[in-house]
């Protein structure tokens, strides 16, 4: 959503896709807060988030996390 033009040009790998605009915007914001340049767009009626190829692994880790086994949350 925010970034330099060069970052948007290189953001061509889709890491998230949903039909909900609010969910896509929240996920894009989460990536940007983590320092990952993300681009929100639309493809075939679905909202997508694209990132530069060097940030794909970090994006997947951030978007697809789950608690470790045995952790206690308060």
- The domain ranges of the chain are 5-62
> Taking every pair of C-alpha atoms in the chain, what is the biggest distance, in angstroms?
43
Q: Is the Cα torsion angle 1, 39, 42, 17 positive or negative in sign? A: negative
At residue 5, the pLDDT reads 46
At residue 31, the pLDDT reads 94
- The closest of 55, 54, 66 to 28, measured between CA atoms, is 55
- pLDDT confidence of 12, banded at 50, 70, 90? confident
pLDDT in tens, 21-52: 999 999 999 999 999 999 899 988 999 999 99
- State the architecture of 5-62 in CATH terms: 2-Layer Sandwich (3.30)
Q: Is the Cα torsion angle 30, 35, 36, 38 positive or negative in sign? A: positive
């Amino acid at each position: 959503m925010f970034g330099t033009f060069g970052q948007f040009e290189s953001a061509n790998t889709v890491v998230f896709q949903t039909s909900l605009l609010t969910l896509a915007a929240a996920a894009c914001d989460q990536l940007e807060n983590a320092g990952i340049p993300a681009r929100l767009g639309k493809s075939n009626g679905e909202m997508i988030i694209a990132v530069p190829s060097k940030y794909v692994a970090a994006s997947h880790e951030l978007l697809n996390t789950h608690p470790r086994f045995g952790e206690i949350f308060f």
